[in-house]
Amino acid sequence: MNAPLEPGGAPKPLDQRLSWEDWCSGLRAKPALQTKRDESWKYTRTRLFEWSADTPPTSLRPVIQVPKRRSGWRALSFRQAFQKAPDLLLPWVGQVARASGRVLSEWNTQAFEDGLLLEIPDGLVVHEPIEIVLSTRNPTDPACRSETGARHLFPRVLIHLGKGSQASVIERHRWGFEPRPDRSAPPGSQPQRVNTVTEILLAPDAALTHYLEQTGDGNTQAASLSAIRLGPDSHYTGYAFDASTALLRHEHHVVLSGPGSEARLEGLTLAGRGEHHDRQTWIVHACPGTSSHQCFHSIVAGQGMSIYGGQVHMKHGASGCEATQKNHHLLLDPTAQSRSRPSLEIAVDDVRCSHGSTSGALDPDSLFYLRSRGLAETQARHLLTLAFAGGFLEKLPPGALKTAWQEAVSRILPGME
Amino acid sequence: MNLLEIKNLHVSVGDRPVLQGIDLEVPAGEMHVIMGPNGSGKSTLVQTLAGSETYTIRQGQVRFAGEDLLALKTEERAHRGLFLAFQYPVEIPGLGNALFLRTIVNAIRKTRGLPEWDALDFLSRSRSALEQMGMKPELLERAVNQGFSGGEKKRNEILQMRLLEPRLALLDETDSGLDIDALRTVAHGIESMRDSQRSFLLVTHYQRMLDHLRPDRIHVLINGRMVQSGDADLAPMLEKRGYDWLLKEQRA
């Protein structure tokens, strides 16, 4: 039953004489970044790749925080795992992301210095959410206090969920500097450039709720890849929230590689003034009886840009599958822009697929309705914008994170309106 | 004293004239009804009074409690005590009905110098209004009007009227789409709000809701003009004879 989760080819017997450096060199032996010419990069390619060429050989290490109390699960750095749990690390790094063969994982593989391995063993049900913080906002680290010099970061995360295990993981990316009241970057600061790759493996019957929060500042240029591979009858639910980042590209790659597996993706983007947020999803139905549902919302302020590109592939033989794909852009200003590129590639007959996309300003009839009840225009607009965000927030399971994201949206929106 | 005074009001949608010289006076404490065939301009009149920007005012004056109503923004009209129950209330996904109702109640209370209601105040004070309107409490938990039946939307409008306590309520076909029991409940909800200071302007096609109310005046609007006014007896006559005889009189 493990077959669909095998990495590319059978794992080779581990060579005990292999050093960390040798292993990394092996990973990096393949050609580095290629400029992909696929359509998913149509609106972001130039801006994001401007900095890839000058990536320095050494990069700043992000601060990675994980809870100290661990109820049966493990968190190891890659270097630790290389010694203590090589079978969880070596065969898998790069293998989940490789399925999609995209630029971001190759680029990260060329440069990461370490990473975080999380293991939820077979059968374990973790009740408390596991929170991982990837950040440069650490006042005790001199490198993080420095306000000059371009910084490049390549955080890497690998998560294993064993058979029948269940967990919630909150992954927080906090780049740039602590937000200032006017959201500007500190004087003299250089852009922080980040490329994060998170690979997640779900064994049969495993269930993961994955929360991804990405925030930065007016100088941050961030790319991130969440690559997930699902075994038979496993369930993945992903909630992605991103805001306050000058340039962000997030790719959500999901391979439903076991029969009966299910993925649900929800997201909210707040693209503030002049910000550029690009979300791409890529979902492969490789087995029969799999289903995927995605719904992404974005709110875009003046001069901002929000992009949604969604690809669903129904592979040959994947009969009885179901996929829905929705995205909604709310443009707060005539100078706000959005792009949607939904696509379905279906190589089998017996499937159900649908997609829908909307883009526009606030509904004038709804504005009139609220104003006729005594709300000032700014208040009415704010309430309707919050209501739009509610389309995402209301789907979150009750808990501290839902409250935190509701508060974050309420805090950020007034600056966008 | 007249609470509402409309003089020679001309309104158009784009280049198309809809209202062509409306004169109307509604004294404080009275209930007036506007009837008329489809497309005669009834909804245009109440929407214009509420401040809709869909319409262009070409000519005329409207005074509300002595103040120039047309110079006020939509929300300012609500602050002065004007309320419109919509013919087609909008659905607002993502905005909870309870939050919406509490927000609008507090917006109005603030302008009246009254303390705002917190969530608990709102729940306790809205409960009786909700019961009187025959509304299930779970309608507060849902998004504004989303998935509401036609009758539930209309009840939600009257619930808002009860909570906001306006001086002038414009009710645009509030009786349409209601079954017999709902009609009685809604009519009772309106009737119980009547007092010597509060006025009502109802738009309707049918006599049936008027059976539950005691309107003071009935006005007939045809092709953007008021062609007839009378007491409550005019409504059953219109129900019986239709509008053709008035159209003929108008042509003659």
Q: What is the C-alpha to C-alpha distance for residues A397 and B64, in angstroms, rounded to an integer?
A: 49
Chain B: give the shortest CA distance to residue A399, in Å. 18
pLDDT, mean over chain A: 86
In a mutational test of the B interface, the residue from A368, A373, A413 whose CB has the highest number of chain B CBs within 10 Å is A373
- For residue B163, give both structure tokens: 């909570």
Mean pLDDT of chain B: 93
**Tokens 């890497």 -> residue:** A156
- Does pLDDT of B54 surpass 80? yes
Residue A151 has pLDDT above 90, yes or no: no
- B103–A386 C-beta distance less than 8 A: no
Percent over 90 (pLDDT), chain B: 78
pLDDT score of A110? 82
Is the predicted pLDDT of residue A96 greater than 70, yes or no? yes
Containing H/E element for A172? strand A166-174
Q: Which residues does A contribute to its contact with B (CB < 8 Å)?
A: 363-366, 368-377, 379-380, 383-384, 386-391, 394
Distance CA B126, CA B158 (A): 12
pLDDT of residue B225: 94
Decide if B74 and A368 are in contact by the 8 Å CB cutoff. yes
Type of residue found at B133: M
pLDDT at B7: 97
Which of A246, A310, A237, A297 lies closest to A269 in space, CA to CA? Answer: A297
Partner-chain contact A373 B79, CB within 8 Å: no
Mean pLDDT of A246-250: 93
Report which of A158, A90, A87 is spatially closest to residue A118, judged by C-alpha positions.
Answer: A158
The Cα A47–Cα A223 span in angstroms is 11
pLDDT at position A319 over 50: yes
Distance from CA of B74 to the nearest CA of A (A): 6
Determine contact: B113 vs chain A, CB below 8 A: no
Residue pLDDT, tens place only, B112-168: 999 999 989 898 888 888 998 989 988 998 999 999 999 999 999 999 999 999 999
Residue A368 tokens, joined = 């009139």
Of B93, B96, B104, the CB nearest to A373: B104
* Token pair in block for residue B217: 């005046």
Which runs of consecutive H residues, i.e. helices, occur in A28-66? 45-49
| CA distance, residue A393 to nearest chain B CA (Å) | 9
Q: A74-77 and A116-120: which strand pairing?
A: antiparallel
Answer with the residue of higher pLDDT: A68 or B89: B89
Segment 128-147 of chain B within 8 Å of chain A by CB: 143
Tokens of B134: 């025959």
For residues A46-51, give the mean pLDDT.
Answer: 58
Strands (E), A47-112: 63-65, 74-77
B/e letters for B94-119, b = 16+ CB within 10 Å, e = fewer, are bbbbbbbbbbbbbbbbeeeeeeebee
Q: Cβ separation of B107 and A373 shorter than 8 Å?
A: yes
- Highest average pLDDT, of A119-128, A185-194, B124-133, comes from A119-128
Q: Per-residue DSSP letters for A114-151?
A: --EEEEE-TT-B--SPEEEEEES--TT-HHHH--SS-E
- Residues A1-27, mean pLDDT to the nearest whole number: 63
Q: Which residue has the tokens 């959005």?
A: A338
Q: Which two tokens stand for residue A412?
A: 């950020």
Q: Does A298 score more than 80 pLDDT?
A: yes
Residues A369 and A298: their CA atoms lie apart, in Å, by 23
- pLDDT in the model for residue A145: 46
Contact state of B75 with A372 under an 8 Å Cβ cutoff: yes
Q: Does B72 touch chain A (CB under 8 A)?
A: no
Asked if B92 and A394 come within 8 Å (Cβ–Cβ), the reply is no
DSSP notation for A208-264: EEEEEEEE--TT-EEEEEEEEEE-TT-EEEEEEEEES-SEEEEEEEEEE-STT-EEE
Region A286-305: mean pLDDT is 97
Give the pLDDT band (50/70/90) at residue A179: low
Asked if pLDDT for residue B3 goes beyond 80, the answer is yes
Residue with the two structure tokens 């740039």: A176
**Chain B residue with minimum CA distance to A371:** B75
Chains A, B: CB contacts within 8 A come to 76
Q: Which pLDDT score is estimated for A31?
A: 57
**What CA–CA distance (Å, rounded) separates A19 from B175?**
81
Cβ contact, residue pair B94, A368, below 8 Å: no
- Per-residue pLDDT band at B248 (split at 50, 70, 90): confident
Q: Is B114 on the interface with A (CB under 8 A)?
A: no
Report the chain A residue with the minimal C-alpha distance to residue B165. Answer: A373
Percentage of residues in chain A having pLDDT higher than 70: 82
State the Cα–Cα distance between residues A71 and A274, nearest whole angstrom. 44
* Dist. CA A410–CA A402, nearest whole Å: 12
Q: Are strands A130-135 and A116-120 parallel, antiparallel or unpaired?
A: unpaired
Residue A55: both structure tokens together: 């990536």
A153 and A136 in contact (C-beta within 8 Å)?
yes
pLDDT of residue A182: 60
Report residue B231's pLDDT band, with 50, 70 and 90 as the boundaries.
very high
Measured distance CA(B36)–CA(A52) in Å, rounded: 70
Q: By three-state DSSP, how is residue A318 classified?
A: coil
pLDDT, residue B240, reads 87
Shortest CA distance to A373 belongs to which of B146, B111, B241, B244? B111
- CB proximity B164 to A under 8 Å: yes
Q: Is there a contact between A388 and B86 if contact means CB atoms under 8 Å apart?
A: no
Q: Kindly determine whether residue A383 and residue B95, on different chains, have CB atoms separated by under 8 Å.
A: yes
Q: Tokens 């937000």 — which residue?
A: A179
DSSP A56: -
The predicted pLDDT at position A61 comes to 61
The nearest CA of chain B is from the CA of A310 a distance in Å of: 24
Chain-chain contact of A369 with B86 (C-beta, under 8 angstroms): yes
Three-state DSSP at A18 gives: coil
In 3D space, the residue among B215, B218, B151 whose CA is nearest the CA of residue B186 turns out to be: B151
Asked which of A356-365, A396-405, B26-35, B118-127 is least confident by mean pLDDT, the reply is B118-127
Question: What mean pLDDT do residues A282-309 have?
Answer: 96
pLDDT band, residue A389 (cuts 50/70/90): very high
**CA closest to A393 among chain B residues:** B94
pLDDT score of A29: 76
List the single residue in B with minimal CA-CA distance to A366.
B90
- The predicted structure's pLDDT at residue A5: 41
**Contact yes or no for B104 and A368 at CB 8 A:** no
Indicate the pLDDT class of residue A312, thresholds 50, 70 and 90: very high
Note every long-range contact of B236-243, with CB atoms under 8 Å and residues 24 or more positions apart, other chains counting.
B236/B207, B238/B35, B238/B207, B239/B206, B239/B207, B243/B36, B243/B37
Span A242-267, mean pLDDT? 96
**pLDDT interval class at B63 (50, 70, 90):** very high
pLDDT of residue A364 exceeding 70, the answer is yes
Start-to-end CA distance of chain A, whole Å, equals 52
Q: Does B86 touch chain A (CB under 8 A)?
A: yes
According to the model, what pLDDT value does residue A11 have? 45
